[in-house]
Each structure stands twice: as structure tokens, then as C-alpha cells.
Structure 1
Amino acid sequence: MSEKKPLILVTNDDGITAPGIRHLISIMKEIGEVIVVAPDRPQSGMGHAITVNDNLYCDEVHLDDQVREYSCSGTPADCVKIATQEIMKRKPDICVSGINHGSNSSINVIYSGTMSAAVEAGTSDIPAVGFSLLDYSMNADFSHTTEFIKYIVNMVLDNGLPRATVLNVNFPAVEKEKIKGLRLCRQAKANWVENFDKRQTPHGRDYYWLTGEFVNQDGGKDTDEWALENNYISVVPVQFDLTAYHALKEFKNWNFEH
């Protein structure tokens, strides 16, 4: 008797029709049984937002005859919640999120809907990986990601992931022959230096447009930013326990416990 195929949940934050998720679905079909639950529209930058004060809709759609797909009115985190609690008959063996159009390296991980979907799965002890390509174009070429995504997903299925950990994988936007391979990294210390461009509508109402510059303050060669700049695929283990363990000892001197 052949082994049962792994059950794979696919989601994203760019919307169910985005080229990135369509490419990821095509790869996952070669590995296991695929169920897709993804936003019905772009939800980039939503972080770990969930829908609490509005109706949540989830409708079956038919974009690929080989997989079951659902278009959800909510956020990426909503998609994972409703998939695992209402749609799927059993817990998926893995959740894959992406492929995101644009970077989710360094500080971007905290804003990312792509990674928040993976984290949401991780909180339910589902092994999860978020995939991103450093190309924001809807016409981005994802072909060079295929073999690496297969490799990573199969490794996770075979070995699992450490408790309370998900993977953040970013691809440089270069031709396949220029990629030097995978590199296990830490998240770079970097941030956005932002400002708001104040403008006015034709009716005289003020509005603001967020602009900014990404600044990498980290010179380490073990970071995701260094890896991507040098044509490696960065793989960063991300924990969703936000406790600052290194600071606990210092705070004990603050006499909180009395």
C-alpha cells in the first residue's frame, strides 16, 4: 500500500489569484494533497490582524481542477484559522504561505501578512514556511524558486520543525544560474526610516502617503540581508514567543515581584 500523501494548506497575502501563489500551488501539487484558502484581495502589510468586528466570508472557487480552493474575505491569519477549524477534515501536515511579491527579510517580517499566516499555523503546531521573492512586480519570474521550494518543503515534511518555530525563506530576484544556494541566517538588524508625504484632495482635505527608506544597520555576514545581497536564498528560523529572555534577569532588579 502506498503511503498517504501529505495534506498541504496553501495561503498568501497577495490574494488568491496572484502569480506567486499560483506558482506555489503548482509546486505543492507535485508533493501532496493541496487545499488553498487565501484572501480574495491583496492583504499585504496586514501583519497578524484578524477579523473580529465584521462578517467573514469564505467561498469555494474553481481556479484549478486538481485542488480545492477557497477565497476568504479576511486577512492571511483569518485564512489559516478558518481553513484549520472549518474547512479541513484534519490538521494539515504543513502550511506554506506565499510566494510573496516582495521582500519579507529582516524587519519586514513583523509587518508581513505572508509570514503572519505561517506563524498562525505554527501556533497550532503545524509546520509552516513563508516564501518570498524580492520582486514586487505582478509579472515577476518565479521559475527559479521551484526546486528550492520542493527541497525545503520535503525537508520539513521529513524532519518537522523545532517547537514554536516557522521558517522565513526569501529568494533574490536573479536568474537561477546566479543563485549560490541556501543559507541559514539570522534576521538582520535593519529598519525603515519613514516619513509621511502630506497632500490634499481636490476638495481640500488633508491626507498622508507613507514613504520611507530601508536602512540596514547590520554588517554581519550571517544575516538574511547579506545572504540576499550575495545571491543566496535566506532561510531564517522565526520564533513566535516574543519574550525577551535576555532581559528577564535585568528586569528582576526593578522589583516587579513584590
Structure 2
Amino acid sequence: MDLPLIGLGTFKARGESVKLAVRTALQQGIRHIDTASIYKNEEDIAAALKEQGVSRQDVFITSKVSPYEQGTGQATRACQQILQRLQTDYVDLMLVHWPGVARTDAASPHNAEMRWQTWQVLEQLQQQGKARAIGVSNYSASHLQELLTRAAVKPAVNQFELHPRRQEVALRQACAAAGVAVVAYASLGCGDLLQQPVVRQVAARTGKTEAQVLLRWALQQGCAVIPKSVHPQYIQQYSPQQLLSWQLADADVAALSALEDGHKYCWDASNIL
């Protein structure tokens, strides 16, 4: 699997705004578009890809089976519908979006059974050529280990929240040991980290924007990134040309890493059994 280091996140982006975001990303050389069943924007993304005229083999598409679609029957239908909405015969990466089942108690054993059934559906999807790779999202180290002990196909990717305030060192080590690539989301701390004095100081020192500094930090941790924006002026900052042509000095990496305090901006799956 040739996973691009930089992608466009599309959470909460719909309609003309997500179409503009996708078009801008493609124009900036970004070739990974990250979506999900629960985002309800796959048809808009398909339209934007068609309008832009980029060959299917030249764009890497990720989608995800939602917590409302877990289990053999529902996940099978969900995968079919994802492909239909994206107007494609295959996705490059299909993920289990969440280790739990919607509206199910976190302590219920039903979660483990349903995510296992969902994973088996994804394995079949890959065997059928409808997903080039399969993976997970929001899996803790224990969720990952549970899957690795049973799966015929190990996950290619684990996508989870990662930024200087929550670096998930142990989870990243578990992924590395298993050969699972890490895709970081919420790299900007939902915008909050852009205001951090240390981030601003590093940005001023390097002549880069705060967002570029944070994304470069994640890249230097060995992670792929999928920053989300619907604003062309921000998406232009995320292009491979803008992010891959320079490096943070070790001192700047250390200064950013010193922000670690375990803070989570997004949902937490660690208590799901």
C-alpha cells in the first residue's frame, strides 16, 4: 500500500464547501482524500473528483464503516453503499471507524463481537479487490492487539488523534512493532494548538505557519497527516511542496514535544471493551 504522507480530511465538510476543498487539494498536489460513511459527503467528493478530471488511479481514497454499521450484514451493506456513493469500483483504504457499536454500553462484549465481524467483512472486501488495503481508526493498543491475534489480514493503518499535547507514544510503538502505519488526525488540536505560545514561537523562528509547524512535527514522528479545511488559503499550506521540503530542527521538535499533557480534543475509545 502506497499511503500518501499528506491527505485532506473532510469531517463535517459537505456540499459546495467540500467540493471546493477537494478541488483545491488536488490542484495543490494532495492525492489522498479521507472521508467516512458517517461524514455524509462521499457523493460530493465523487462529484469533485469527476469535475477535476483526475484519474482514479492517481488519487488515494479512504473511507470508513461507521459505528452504526458494525456487524456482518450491516458492514457488508455499508461497504457496498460507500463504493456506490464514491462512484468507484474500489477504495484504496477502508477502515473500521470506531471499536464500539453506536448506542451500546462501552463495557458490553457486543462491541468486540461486532468489530470482529466488521473486520472479517473488510478482509473479504480486500479479497474481492474492492479495497486495496484495510485498517482501523481510534483503536487503542488493546484493541489492536486483540485484532492482531485473530485477523487473517493485519490492519495496514491505525488512524487516531495525535498532536504535541497527546503523542500516544506507547500506541505508536505498538503500531510500529506490528507494521501498522499511523495516520494522525486532529493534528492542529481542533485549532487550539495554533494559539499555543510555543507553536507560535517555532513558527516565527522557522518562517512557517503554525499549522505547517504542527503538521511537520507529526510527519517527523513518522506519521501521515490528514489536515481538514474547507478554506483554499489553508489547504495551500498543506501541499506536499509546502510540507515535505524542509524539517524542524531537533530543538524545535523537543520544544513542541514538551507540550505533552495527554489532552484529548476528540472522542475517546479507550474505555470500550
Query: Normalization by structure 1: what TM-score?
Result: 0.31
Specify which structure has the higher proportion of strand: 1
Q: Which has the larger radius of gyration?
A: 1
Query: Normalization by structure 2: what TM-score?
Result: 0.30
Specify which structure has the higher proportion of helix: 2
